[in-house]
Every structure is written in structure tokens, then in C-alpha cells.
């Protein structure tokens, strides 16, 4: 019997396409750069700590010179300083976990994680804790974005960007512990008020401009400015949050560069945040090639469709001026009550933006009610990138006639246009939550009042909070090297010496 002919052996697998190999190479390069940055930061911090320790010891010796102490007393002071230094080092080295916080309420939820109101167990301080699932970050190619957000928040130390206090990780999640802003977001305020008068819009625009200037000053483009990402503190002043799409870039002649990507409008729309905008009268809107790349410009198409700049949708590159377009769209929404390029289909929104001259229109009854300088400022942001205000310097924006007489250095000292609900009670509520036992019946009521400006969310996935199990090949130090961060408390470096020379410290060292 003749043996049946066997099929030929399968050919060896073809090598990976050049594009895939290049992507892998780029991923490894970014990881190597991340590790390098982490080590540089670590050893720079160690040098700073060593220099600070030497300074404190020299300060101690100088102060003891005028205290008429004998050698035994001086030794006690030196020993006490050593103990305080060691205690400070131990506290700085201790890794945070979710066990250090008590979860109180879910105040936000997105595609990759959620935000909870939490209380730090040792101090009682109230924070907003953002958790993000590592597997989702990796699967959706969000590793670079989450690292960028952590980096810019860690770099920021000002009144215009939400403050990051800690970041840490476990085997499942990434965590960012940020200041809690009880006023909710600007979108919620717009939902409530529908539109703002020109004076209120001017104040908010000035604050947003200061916030964006801080982001640019740190060497980042935000790229996702929208009312949802602008939070209000308890006095009603603004701060930027959600910098997950921000890009670290080099500053050169007012422009920032990033990695090029080839995208057309349909592919771009598929990558954008296409969740529908709230129904806020968003109905009556008028009229319903491969080019050489400039490495100084960015090309990634990111952002939310309604607020995205036309140059971001094109393939010609863009710089930080794309953020000013987004602020122009937000200004329009504050004054008119809806966005200028709204469409049910995100692809149509993108097409409208690319042909913005055809579709952009301020209703007559709105334009007649606005000052000439207000209209001029709006049109100086919603325009072509090469003529947009702020493309060369911040002075262009601050010196515009619409802001004549405005004290840019006192924006946060001036009364905000709107104060959050229960603003006068917030201090008392925070103190209650800081001190009450978690099982106290008054705790739930206090939390509900404190979070009244946020939507209600049901508990869905407890693993997002404090998950400790292993997750296969995902090692926490692989994709997220250098993620951990701890912000030094204000005046912390002087606290050791101050406590040493307190009455208690003097008693311990001098035997008084």
C-alpha cells in the first residue's frame, strides 16, 4: 500500500516586519531612557540629602557655640540629631500601599481606572486617589501617557496644576494621590449655568491661560484641554488635571517637538475620546501626501474631538499653540453654550474642524452682546496656527486689550466668578472627615456633602482598590520603572533642626 504523500513542512516564520521591529526598538529605547532618568533622579536626590544633612550638622554646631554647653550636652544634641535624621530617612524610604489609605467614595471613573476620595490613615488628610489598571495601560498602549502624566505632575509645584503628593504601584494597579478639589469640574458648572457672562469668562480664561503657561513652562504640551479636565477648588478657582495626553518636548523658538505618526482623519477620529458631550443645546451650529517631517513639531493625533486643533488633525505637525486653540473653543462654549464644531459623528466633527473657516460662527445675539476686545481675543485663538496669539510668547496673550487692567499676579486672590455649593462648609467637613471614625454614622453624611459636586458611582471592581495578586508576566518594575514619587512636605528639611531645638529636644539633649 502506497504511503500517502505528506504535506511539505511549514516554511520558517518570516522575520518581523520592519515597522514592528522599529516599534520594538523604540519601546526598548524609551524604557532605557526611563531607567536612566530614574537613576539620575535617585542619585541626584541622594546628593541633595547628603548636602542637606551636612548643612544641618554645621548649623547645629554653629548654634551650640552660643549656648554655653559642655561636651556631654553637645554629644547629646548630636545624637538626637542623628536619631531624627534616621527617622526621617526611614519615613522617606517606606513604600506606600493602599493599606495606608481608607477609601471613602468613588468620585470619577474612566476607561482605565477610577478616582476615589480617600483619607490617609496616619495624618487624616483627605486626598483624591487615582487608580489605573496596569494590564489595561499596556494593552491600550497607554504606558507612555501615564508616565508622562506622573512626570508632569511630579514636576509641577504651583497653584495652577493639581498637586501630586504620592505615586506608587502594586502588582495590579498604578496609583496617584492628588490634592482633592471639592468644586467639581468646569463642565459641571457649565451644565448648571449654561453660559457665563463676559466678565466671568474673562476671569476663567485668565486662570486657564496661567495654568497652560505652567504646563508649557515645564516643557509639555497638554493636548487634551476641555472643561472636564479643569477642576475648581473650594473657592471656585481653576486648576488643570488629567495630563495623560501631555507630551514632554524640547523648547525651541516657542515650539515643541514629538514623535511623528502618520494618521488620516478617519484613523484619528477612531483614537480620540468619542464619548458624547452632554446635551447642552448642542444642536444649532451653522451649516450643518506624505510631507517632510519637522522634528521640532508634534504629529500624534490625540485629544477630544470638539476641542482639538486643526493642525493636530493634519499631518503637518504642531506646537504648543494647539493648546491655545482648545482654550478658544472652551471660551466659545462658555459664552455661547455649546462647542462650535459639534456633530454626532466624531469623524464629521474632525472634518468640520479641518474646514473651520466654513463652519465657525458666533451667533449674532452673542456677538452683539460681547465687547469688541472679547470678540477679537476669541478670534485670535480660533484661527490658523501661524497667526494664533501666543505662538511666540506669553506676553502676546497677557497684553491683549481684553485683559487691560487685569492683575495677573493676583488672580487667585480675587473672588472667583462662582463659588462651589457648600463652599463655606468645606473646611468643617474636611475636619470632620479627618477626625471621625470610619464607622461613625456621621462619616457617610460628611462624605456625601463634600462630594456633592461630583457624580455618584457604584462600586464595580474592588480589585482596582488594593489588588495584590500577581498578574502573569507584568512585573511592576518592567513597564513602569521609576513611577514611585513622594513630595516633600513644605519646610520638611528644616523640621529636623526645628524639632531638635524645641523645648522637648533641649530637655532630651541638655538634661534640663
Write out pLDDT tens, residues 175-218: 999 999 999 999 999 999 999 999 999 999 999 999 999 988 88
- The whole domain housing 130 covers 98-181+475-486
Q: Is residue 163 located within the same domain as residue 189?
A: no
Q: Which of 381, 413, 445 is the last residue of a domain?
A: 413
Helix 71-93 and helix 503-510, axial crossing angle in degrees, nearest 10: 130
- Is 224 known to be catalytic? yes
Count CA atoms closer than 13 A to 491's CA, side-chain side. Answer: 4
Q: Is residue 342 located within the same domain as residue 383?
A: yes
Q: Is residue 174 located within the same domain as residue 197?
A: no
* Amino acid 485: pLDDT: 84
* Amino acid 389: pLDDT: 94
* Amino acid 445: pLDDT: 92
Q: Is residue 113 located within the same domain as residue 130?
A: yes
Q: Give the per-residue SS3 of 346-360.
A: HHHHHHHHHCHHHHC
Q: What is the pLDDT of residues 465-501, one digit of tens each?
A: 655 444 444 444 467 777 888 887 654 444 444 555 5
Residue numbers of the chain with a pLDDT score lower than 50:
1-7, 250-303, 468-477, 491-497, 503-512
Q: Which of 94, 110, 145 is the last residue of a domain?
A: 94
Task: Please report, rounded to a whole number, the percentage of residues in the chain having pLDDT higher than 90.
Answer: 35
Q: What is the pLDDT of residues 227-252, one digit of tens each?
A: 999 999 999 999 998 877 766 554 34
CA distance 92 to 86: 10
* 19 Cβ contact partners less than 8 Å away, ≥ 6 residues apart: none
| pTM over 0.85, yes/no | no
74 is known to lie in a ligand binding site: no
* Amino acid 53: pLDDT: 76
Q: Is residue 252 located within the same domain as residue 365?
A: yes
**Is 502 within a domain?**
no
Active-site residue (options: 224, 228, 233, 323):
224
Distances (CA, A) of 21 to 16, 17, 24, 26, 281: 6, 6, 5, 9, 48
**Is 451 within a domain?**
no
Amino acid at each position: 500500500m502506497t504511503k500517502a504523500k505528506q504535506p511539505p513542512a511549514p516554511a520558517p516564520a518570516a522575520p518581523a516586519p520592519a515597522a514592528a521591529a522599529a516599534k520594538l526598538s523604540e519601546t526598548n529605547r524609551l524604557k532605557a531612557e526611563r531607567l536612566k532618568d530614574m537613576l539620575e533622579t535617585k542619585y541626584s536626590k541622594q546628593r541633595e540629602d547628603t548636602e542637606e544633612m551636612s548643612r544641618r550638622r554645621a548649623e547645629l554646631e554653629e548654634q551650640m557655640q552660643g549656648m554655653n554647653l559642655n561636651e556631654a550636652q553637645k554629644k547629646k544634641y548630636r545624637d538626637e540629631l542623628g536619631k531624627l535624621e534616621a527617622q526621617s530617612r526611614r519615613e522617606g524610604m517606606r513604600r506606600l500601599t493602599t493599606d495606608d489609605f481608607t477609601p471613602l467614595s468613588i468620585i470619577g471613573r474612566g476607561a482605565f481606572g477610577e478616582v476615589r476620595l480617600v483619607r490617609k490613615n496616619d495624618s487624616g488628610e483627605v486626598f483624591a486617589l487615582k487608580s489605573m489598571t496596569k494590564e489595561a495601560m499596556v494593552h491600550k498602549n497607554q504606558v507612555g501617557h501615564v508616565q508622562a502624566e506622573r512626570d508632569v505632575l511630579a514636576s509641577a509645584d504651583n497653584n495652577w496644576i493639581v498637586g501630586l503628593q504620592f505615586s506608587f504601584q502594586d502588582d495590579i494597579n498604578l496609583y496617584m494621590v492628588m490634592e482633592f478639589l471639592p468644586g467639581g469640574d468646569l463642565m459641571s458648572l457649565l451644565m448648571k449655568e449654561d453660559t457665563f457672562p463676559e466678565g466671568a469668562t474673562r476671569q476663567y480664561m485668565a486662570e486657564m491661560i496661567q495654568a497652560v503657561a505652567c504646563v508649557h513652562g515645564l516643557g509639555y504640551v497638554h493636548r487634551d484641554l476641555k472643561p472636564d479636565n479643569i477642576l475648581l477648588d473650594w473657592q471656585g478657582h481653576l486648576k488643570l488635571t488629567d495630563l495623560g495626553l501631555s507630551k514632554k518636548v524640547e523648547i525651541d523658538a516657542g515650539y515643541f517637538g514629538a514623535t511623528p505618526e502618520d494618521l488620516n482623519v478617519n484613523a484619528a477620529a477612531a483614537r480620540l475620546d468619542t464619548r458624547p458631550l452632554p446635551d447642552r443645546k448642542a444642536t444649532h451650529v451653522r451649516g450643518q501626501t506624505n510631507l517632510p517631517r519637522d522634528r521640532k513639531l508634534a504629529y500624534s493625533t490625540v485629544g477630544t474631538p470638539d476641542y482639538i486643533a486643526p493642525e493636530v488633525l493634519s499631518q503637518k505637525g504642531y506646537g504648543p499653540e494647539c493648546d491655545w486653540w482648545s482654550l478658544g473653543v472652551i471660551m466659545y462654549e462658555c459664552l455661547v453654550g455649546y462647542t462650535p464644531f459639534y456633530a454626532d459623528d466624531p469623524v464629521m466633527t474632525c472634518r468640520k474642524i479641518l474646514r473651520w473657516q466654513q463652519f465657525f460662527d458666533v451667533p449674532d445675539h452673542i456677538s452683539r452682546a460681547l465687547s469688541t476686545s472679547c470678540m477679537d481675543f476669541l478670534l485670535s485663538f480660533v484661527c490658523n496656527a501661524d497667526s494664533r496669539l501666543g505662538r511666540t510668547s506669553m506676553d502676546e496673550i497677557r497684553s491683549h486689550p481684553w485683559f487691560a487692567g487685569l492683575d495677573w499676579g493676583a488672580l487667585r486672590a480675587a473672588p472667583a466668578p462662582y463659588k462651589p455649593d457648600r463652599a463655606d462648609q468645606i473646611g468643617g467637613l474636611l475636619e470632620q472627615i479627618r477626625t471621625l471614625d470610619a464607622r461613625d454614622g456621621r462619616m457617610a453624611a460628611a462624605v456625601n456633602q463634600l462630594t456633592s459636586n461630583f457624580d455618584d458611582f457604584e462600586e464595580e471592581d474592588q480589585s482596582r482598590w488594593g489588588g495584590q495578586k500577581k498578574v502573569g508576566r507584568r512585573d511592576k518594575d518592567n513597564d513602569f520603572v521609576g513611577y514611585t514619587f513622594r513630595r516633600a512636605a513644605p519646610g520638611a528639611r528644616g523640621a529636623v533642626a526645628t524639632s531638635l531645638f524645641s523645648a522637648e529636644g533641649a530637655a532630651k539633649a541638655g538634661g534640663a
